Amino acid sequence: MRATVPAFDYYAPDTIPELLNLLGRLDSPSLIAGGTDFIPAARLKGFRPANVVSLRNLGKELSYVTIKDGLVRIGALTKIIDAQRSELVCTRAPCLHEALSQIGSVQIRNRATIGGNLCNASPAADSAPPLLVLNASVETIRQGTGRTIPLKDFFLGPGKTALEKAEVLKEVAFRPQEGGSSFEKLGRTNGEDISVASAAVLLKISGSKISEGRIALGSVAPMPMRALQAEKMLSGKEPSAALLDSVASMASDEAVPVTDVRATAEYRKSAVKALVRSAFARALERARGG
């Protein structure tokens, strides 16, 4: 039986200084951006916030896609659909564009934000694998200071991030990609579904050989992950069917999935092989100029 949404105190600050002051004095505040996960969490997962802080009034300050100091920067409150349609994302990070295009429905993408997708810290967060292969970092703000956290260090576990008390995600940033990239996702249905498994691949080619390869996986570990051992097999190698077989198998071995209502652990490991193969092939074609 579904629970009703509990009563809570609600705040909607108008400025970032007001937000940071509020977070500093509230007891266990829960932030919402697009709010697409709030009602399901409250009704189905036992989420019981005492203080809810909405970021709805801060869009003018934290919603943007731009390039500055050589980095593509996406504000935390940027709607998924706005980032998806951004020319910067389409041309400088194709794998991220592909991932954002597969998050939920059009209605969800018009509400959900890039910051919310990351801060929920779901193992199935579709934006995470492409951002991991882009070597992205997140910029945070808190009273009097802020810091930069590599995305690989941002996720600590399901629903857990490196954000500290009264600290807020400001933006995610990454260098425009070199080479070719691709993102592949497997869900139980076509589109609008949480991924059973996902994979992002980025390849750089020098002459006939791979100078660098990065692989990231989603939904197959407690948090989005880089397949580091599989990556080590790529550097300095010429692409071949045998190499791809070995790399896909290694990525599958690195995955530590669970069995849940969406798939078994064994099925997810098999899916990783297929997804890495597909993403690798498209990334390679793009790296070669296709």
Instruction: State how far the alpha carbon of 4 is from the alpha carbons of 28, 71, 214, in Å.
Output: 21, 44, 44
When the candidates are 3.40.50.280, 3.30.465.10, 3.30.365.10, 3.40.50.720, the CATH number that belongs to 59-174 is 3.30.465.10
Q: What is the 3-state secondary structure (H, E, C) of 47-85?
A: CCCCEEEECHHHHHHHCCEEEECCEEEEECCCEHHHHHH
Alpha-carbon gap, residue 256 to 227, rounded angstroms: 11
Asked if the model's pLDDT at residue 239 lies above 60, the reply is yes
pLDDT value at residue 45: 67
- Quote the CA–CA distance of 14 and 34 in Å, as a whole number: 16
Dihedral, 142, 145, 150, 156 alpha carbons, nearest 10: -40
pLDDT digits (tens, 9 = 90+) for 191-217: 557 899 999 999 999 999 999 999 999
Range 9-57 has CATH code 3.40.30.10: no
Q: What are the C-alpha distances in Å from 69 to residues 20, 84, 175, 270, 275?
A: 26, 22, 9, 41, 34
C-alpha–C-alpha distance, residues 165 and 28, integer Å: 8
- What average pLDDT does the segment 100-112 reach? 93
Mean pLDDT for 42-54 is 80
> Does the pLDDT at position 81 exceed 90?
yes
The pLDDT of residue 44 is 63
CATH of segment(s) 180-188+195-287: 3.30.390.50
Question: What's the CA gap between 117 and 93, in Å, rounded?
Answer: 17
Three-state DSSP state, 18: helix
Average pLDDT of the segment spanning 11-25: 95
For residue 90, give every residue at least 6 positions away whose Cβ sits within 8 Å of its Cβ, in sequence order, or none: 97
Tokens describing residue 183: 């993102």
Q: What one-letter code names the amino acid at 125?
A: A
User: pTM for the complete prediction?
Assistant: 0.94
Question: CA 211, 216, 221, 224: dihedral to nearest 10 degrees?
Answer: 130
Share of the chain above pLDDT 90, in %: 84
Closest CA to 286 of 184, 177, 188: 177
**CA dist., res. 123 & res. 257, Å (int):** 10
Whether residue 43 has pLDDT greater than 80: no
How is the chain split into domains, by residue range? 9-57, 59-174, 180-188+195-287
Q: What is the mean predicted confidence (pLDDT) over 166-170? A: 96
> How high is the pLDDT of residue 34?
87
Residue 3, pLDDT score: 59
pLDDT value of residue 71: 98
